[in-house]
């Protein structure tokens, strides 16, 4: 069935701007670009601090299997490994060897990940992925915002993407929950909560120094 266009309320997933600029000029292999874009999608669907992908996850991904120029899993493995290594050499991805050296973890090379990568557990992220990606989308910060705050506009999606690079995903989720509880359903208020937690510290999801709605105004 041919693509029918973007429906109302379609999700937006932030993609680092250089991928549509200088990196787009550098990347000549279409499969490399497909794999990189799919990695970004998969990483944005992750929860927790260790947002990364493994080779096994990419091999098990139905979208990649259907979009790459490969007729069997061995050739697909070769294409994915080449793309991962090329992206690492371009400084787009960070590669971290697993504890037993049999699993490699791939992170987007962002400021947040560069700071966090020295503190990762060197273990694959906990996931029980199926051989193919299930239909539907896993709940994440974007859908959480839509369900509890309002329509996700491109501008808000971009601001959420910036926040994801700066704060742990759990902070953003808890800030959304606190904004809902205080009936202040807008991104500006959520960002003030995050800024307060960053400057004053956070304990059990709340600011240590203040209580009440007024502390974020």
- For residues 79-94, give the mean pLDDT: 94
The yes-or-no answer to whether 17-119 and 141-216 have a common fold is yes
Choose among 154, 151, 211, 141: nearest CA to 186.
151
pLDDT digits (tens, 9 = 90+) for 35-71: 999 999 998 877 666 688 999 999 999 999 999 987 7
Q: Write the CB contacts of 174 (distance below 8 Å, at least 6 apart in sequence).
A: 205
pLDDT per residue over 157-214, tens digit each?
A: 888 888 888 888 889 999 999 998 888 889 999 999 999 998 888 764 454 444 444 4
What residue segments make up the domains of the chain, in order of their start? 17-119, 141-216
Could you tell me how many residues make up the chain?
A: 217
Q: 104-133: per-residue pLDDT in tens?
A: 899 998 877 887 776 554 444 544 444 444
CATH of 17-119, one of 1.10.10.10, 3.40.50.300, 1.10.510.10, 1.20.1300.10: 1.10.10.10
Tell me how far apart the alpha carbons of residues 13 and 168 are, in angstroms, rounded to a whole number: 17
Per-residue confidence (pLDDT) for residue 48, from 0 to 100:
61
Where residue 32 falls among pLDDT bands split at 50, 70, 90? Answer: very high
CA distance 164 to 187: 13
If one compares 149 and 69, the residue with the highest pLDDT of the two is 149
Under CATH, what is the fold of the domain 141-216?
A: Arc Repressor Mutant, subunit A (1.10.10)
């Amino acid at each position: 069935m041919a693509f029918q266009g973007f429906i109302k309320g379609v999700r937006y997933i932030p993609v680092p701007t250089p991928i549509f600029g200088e990196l787009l000029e550098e990347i000549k292999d279409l499969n490399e670009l497909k794999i990189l874009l799919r990695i970004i999608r998969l990483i944005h669907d992750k929860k927790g601090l260790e947002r990364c992908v493994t080779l096994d996850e990419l091999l098990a991904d139905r979208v990649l299997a259907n979009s790459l120029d490969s007729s069997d899993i061995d050739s697909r493995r070769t294409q994915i490994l080449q793309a991962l290594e090329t992206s690492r050499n371009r400084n787009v991805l960070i590669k971290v060897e697993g504890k037993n050296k049999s699993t490699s973890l791939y992170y987007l090379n962002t400021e947040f990940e560069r700071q966090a990568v020295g503190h990762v557990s060197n273990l694959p992220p906990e996931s029980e992925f199926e051989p193919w990606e299930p239909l539907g989308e896993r709940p994440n910060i974007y859908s959480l915002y839509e369900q509890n705050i309002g329509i996700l506009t491109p501008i808000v999606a971009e601001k959420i993407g910036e926040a994801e690079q700066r704060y742990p995903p759990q902070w953003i989720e808890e800030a959304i929950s606190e904004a809902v509880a205080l009936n202040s359903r807008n991104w500006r208020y959520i960002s003030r909560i995050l800024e307060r937690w960053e400057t004053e510290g956070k304990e059990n999801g709340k600011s240590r120094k203040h209580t009440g709605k007024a502390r974020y105004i």
